[in-house]
């Protein structure tokens, strides 16, 4: 059986708009902090999360896990709740621009490592100017 200690990152039972950080959690987090490290902005976290999901979709197309971009758009929208207002990852790639996507991924790759290496298919589309959703 799982036993809850009722202790997490924030202290419990505190009323108000700010909750104190659990001192035990703070000790653990301090072991992994890099001196001078600054927390990413909310916008940066959103970009990093979103771009990785789009890149995974591109990798699925590249590795023929999905047959075409339409299947990828539908699969991510209905399968994992990808933002339907963006039209799916391949619609996003076309509207944002494959070159812009590759450039942003390369920037994160330099800062954060290999997890942000853009899919080769995205690089190829960026170099050719081709659209994923073209007829």
Judge whether 58 and 69 are in contact, CB under 8 Å.
no
pLDDT of 39 reads 83
**E strand spans, 53-108:** none
- The token pair that represents 48 in the structure block: 């990093």
Q: How confident is the model at residue 36 (pLDDT cuts 50, 70, 90)?
A: confident
Q: Does residue 35 carry a pLDDT above 60?
A: yes
pLDDT of 13 reads 61
Half-sphere exposure of 58 (CA within 13 A, CB side): 29
Cα of 44 vs its chain's centroid, Å: 10
**Whole-model pTM?**
0.74
- The token pair that represents 37 in the structure block: 């490290």
The pLDDT tens digits of the residues spanning 43-76 come to 999 999 999 999 999 999 999 999 999 999 999 9
Q: Does residue 109 carry a pLDDT above 80?
A: yes
Closest CA to 118 of 64, 73, 50, 58: 58
CA distance 79 to 111: 31
Q: How confident is the model at residue 97 (pLDDT cuts 50, 70, 90)?
A: very high
Query: Coil, strand or helix: which one is 60?
Result: helix
Q: How confident is the model at residue 10 (pLDDT cuts 50, 70, 90)?
A: low
Closest CA to 47 of 125, 100, 84, 126: 100
Taking the CB of residue 89, how many other CB atoms lie within 10 A of it?
A: 28
């Amino acid at each position: 059986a799982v036993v809850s200690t009722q202790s997490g990152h924030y202290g419990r039972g505190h009323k108000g708009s700010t909750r104190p950080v659990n001192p035990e959690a703070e000790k653990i987090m301090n072991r992994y902090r890099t001196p001078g490290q600054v927390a990413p902005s909310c916008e940066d976290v959103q970009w990093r999360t979103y771009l990785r999901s789009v890149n995974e979709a591109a990798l699925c197309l590249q590795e023929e896990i999905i047959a075409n971009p339409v299947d990828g758009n539908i699969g991510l929208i209905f399968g994992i709740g990808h933002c339907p207002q963006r039209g799916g990852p391949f619609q996003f790639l076309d509207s944002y621009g494959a070159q812009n996507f590759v450039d942003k991924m390369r920037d994160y790759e330099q800062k954060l490592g290999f997890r942000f290496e853009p899919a080769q298919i995205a690089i190829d589309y960026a170099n050719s100017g081709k659209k994923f959703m073209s007829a």
